[in-house]
């Protein structure tokens, strides 16, 4: 372990004790189920923990990454030589006030959609089929079925590790756009508030079941994957472009373009993160040669890769 990592570990242990883990396996925390360990790992349960994390990162000049449900990340085979944070149970909560629901960053988005249903509030039905934490969903402006989180988010609660300060960002300042938001790289989404509308619960249930059924029918749920690998280009769909270019079924090592959905890459037993990244670049090249379109990855890479998607 480097001097910087030892310094960071010392600071974290002084505040968080044995909850700080070293060489912690990350693969089980991702939907790909591949990748190496985190040099340091912590599940913050309170702002006090986040203050300690911010101090460790500042004093040790250490790289840090925040993960949620791990459904749109790919961890490098050698892991991450820094601090990985994943909000703990202290940030899994929800509270309703009228047509607004405020929830913690580690609240699963499907569970939050269920909370909305229990209060006969509509607007989050699409989230029932997105395997993300609320914080991660805000960070990437998650969406499905022509809807996205930016349509219902009213404000975002952040803890900025660099300044070790909390602040609330109104939606107008969050810079939401397709599968992204203009939130500082060191900002942890600790909570958020959505504004919904009243509706009949039977109609909400119908929309939720439609979303679940669509996911079951169109996605390779039985195989490890990270969801959509590429963002859809304006006015088109990445899956269509990949199929048109003959990319469906293409494979590298243990990674393959799904036969069920061309914008999914599935990982067989023994697959490596490097297999996935090489396949991503092959698909990019194939589509660019066929249609002239550059596919931009939606999956986020954690750690160092010898080969990186263009």
Which positions are catalytic?
Answer: 179, 228, 298
Q: Would you give the distance in Å from CA 146 to the centre of its chain?
A: 19
- Give the span between the Cα atoms of 90 and 84, in whole angstroms: 17
CA distances from 191 to 3, 52, 110, 177 (A): 33, 19, 16, 19
The residues, ordered by sequence, that sit 6+ positions from 1 with a Cβ below 8 Å of its Cβ are 9, 22, 39
Q: 265, 279 in Cβ contact below 8 A? A: yes
d(CA 47, CA 39): 22
How many angstroms separate the CA atoms of 169 and 189, rounded? 10
CA dist list (Å): 78 to 34, 74, 123, 253, 274: 11, 12, 41, 17, 10
């Amino acid at each position: 372990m480097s001097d910087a990592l030892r310094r960071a570990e010392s600071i974290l242990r002084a505040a968080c004790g044995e909850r700080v883990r070293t060489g912690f396996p990350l693969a089980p925390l991702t939907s790909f189920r591949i990748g190496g360990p985190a040099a340091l790992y912590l599940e913050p349960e309170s702002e006090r923990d986040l203050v300690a994390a911010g101090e460790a990162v500042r004093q040790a000049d250490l790289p840090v990454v925040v993960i949620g449900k791990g459904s749109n990340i790919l961890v490098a085979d050698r892991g991450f030589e820094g601090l990985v944070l994943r909000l703990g149970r202290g940030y899994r909560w929800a509270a309703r006030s009228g047509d607004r629901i405020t929830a913690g960053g580690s609240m699963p988005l499907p569970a939050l959609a269920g909370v909305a249903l229990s209060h006969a509030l509509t607007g989050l039905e699409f989230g029932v089929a997105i395997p993300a934490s609320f914080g991660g969903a805000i960070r990437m402006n998650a969406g499905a079925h022509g809807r996205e989180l930016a349509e219902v988010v009213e404000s975002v609660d952040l803890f900025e590790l660099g300044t070790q300060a909390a602040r609330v960002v109104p939606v107008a300042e969050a810079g939401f756009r397709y599968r992204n938001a203009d939130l500082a790289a060191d900002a942890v989404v600790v909570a958020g508030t959505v504004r919904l509308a009243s509706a009949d619960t039977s109609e909400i249930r119908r929309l939720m079941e439609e979303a679940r059924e669509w996911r079951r029918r169109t996605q390779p749920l039985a195989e490890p994957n990270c969801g959509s690998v590429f963002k859809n280009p304006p006015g088109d769909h990445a899956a269509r472009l990949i199929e048109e270019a003959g990319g469906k079924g293409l494979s590298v090592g243990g990674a393959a373009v799904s036969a069920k959905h061309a914008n999914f890459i599935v990982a067989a037993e023994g697959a490596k993160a490097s297999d996935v990244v090489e396949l991503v670049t092959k698909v990019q090249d194939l589509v660019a040669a066929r249609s002239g379109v550059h596919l931009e990855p939606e999956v986020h890479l954690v750690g160092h890769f010898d080969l990186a998607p263009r």
